[in-house]
Amino acid sequence: MTIQQMRYFLVVCRLQNITHAAAELHIAQSTLSQAMQTIEDETGLNLFLRAGRTIRISQDGQKLYQKVTALLREVDAFEDGVREMSCRHGKISLAIPQQQASFLIPRLLHTFQHEHPEIQLDIIEPYGVEAARFVQEEKVDLAVVNYDGSTLPDLQYQRIDSRPVKFIVWPGHPLADRPSISLAEAARGPLVLLSEEFYVTRLLMRTFAAARIEPNVAYYSPHLSTLYSLLRTHTAPSILFEQAVTALSDIVTIPFDTPLSLTSCIITKKSRQISKDQRLVMKFIRQQLLARQAMP
C-alpha cells in the first residue's frame, strides 16, 4: 500500500462516497475505485460495505482507518521536518570579527543579498578567537577572521590573503615621518591595543615575547571604536591590522622593519558537510577579500 493510496483511503472513509471522494481528490472515479480494490487485495481485508456508489466502512475498515491515520500523521511530521531542514539550509550563520566586519558586512548585505535574495544571512560580530570557537561549537556555519596561524584540530582553515600589521599614529606624532619602525621602538609606547581575544594582539604578544621585549601597553580594549577615539584624540599609538584603519582619515600607518602580517581565512568545521548555499557565500567572501588585496 503506497502513501498515495493511504491518503485516498482516508478521503473515501471520510466521505463514504466514491464520486464525492474522486471529485475532492481530482482523479477519475475508476482510478479511485481501482486503488481501493488494490488495498483490499493487498491486505486481504473486506474494508467496505457497498451499496451502489454509497459505501460504508466495515469493522476491519475502521481499524485500518485508525492505523493509517496514525501512520500518515507520522509521515506528515517527517515531511514537515525535512522541509524545515531544507529551509535552514537557506539560512547561513556567519561570525565576522570587527576588523573584517567593516569591509565585508556592507558587501554581504548589499551585493550578495541582491544577487541571492533566497539566502538569509545571520551575521554576528564576535572577537576573532571567539569566532573560531563558535564554529567549533557549531553555533555558526562559518567564520571569517584574520588569524595568527594558530589552529584548532577539528576546524578547516581556507587561507585567502595576508595583509600587514602596522604601527598606527597620527600626523604630527614624533614617529609619523618614519618609513619603518622596529618592534623595540614601538614597544616603548605607551600603546593602546585590542584585547587578547583578537588574533592581532595574540600575534603581537607572541612576537614581543620571542624578542624578549616588554611592551608598554596603557590600555587594552575589546572595541575598535575605542581605539579609533584614542587615536583621533592623540592619546596613544596603536598596532593594528592595516585594513582595520583604511576608513580612518588623519591616520599614519608605519610598517615594521621585520614585517608582521595576519592571514585572512574562512573557517568551517571539518565534520560538517558544506551546503550549496554556504559554498556560494564562501565563494563571494573569497572574491571580495582577493579584490581587496589588489586595492592600493
Residues 123 and 269 in one domain: yes
Could you tell me how far CA 247 lies from the centroid of its own chain? 26
Residues 155 and 276 in one domain: yes
Residues 52 and 102 in one domain: no
Residues 80 and 122 in one domain: no
Residues 125 and 229 in one domain: yes
| Domain region containing 154 | 91-293
Q: Where among 70, 88, 106 does a domain terminate?
A: 88
pTM: 0.61
Residues 140 and 231 in one domain: yes
Residues 257 and 231 in one domain: yes
Determine whether 133 is exposed, middle or buried from the number of CB atoms within 10 Å of its CB (0-12, 13-18, 19+): middle
72-112 per-position pLDDT tens digit: 888 888 877 766 665 555 688 999 987 788 788 899 989 99
**What Å distances lie between residue 134 and 93, 96, 176, 222, 273, CA to CA?**
10, 11, 39, 17, 16
Side-chain-side CA neighbours of residue 4 (13 Å): 7
User: For position 120, which CATH number holds?
Assistant: 3.40.190.290
Residues 203 and 83 in one domain: no
3-state secondary structure of 268: strand
Residues 25 and 115 in one domain: no
Which phi-psi region, left, alpha or beta, contains residue 102 (left: φ > 0; alpha: ψ -120 to 50)?
alpha
Closest to 262 in 3D by CA, of 167, 159, 179, 187: 159
255-269 per-position pLDDT tens digit: 999 888 888 889 999
pLDDT number for residue 129: 84
Is-cis flag, bond preceding 255, omega within 30? no
Residues 81 and 135 in one domain: no
Residues 98 and 71 in one domain: no
Mean pLDDT over 177-189 rounds to 92
Does position 149 have pLDDT exceeding 80, yes or no?
A: no
Count the domains in the chain: 2
30-53 per-position pLDDT tens digit: 898 899 899 999 888 888 887 766
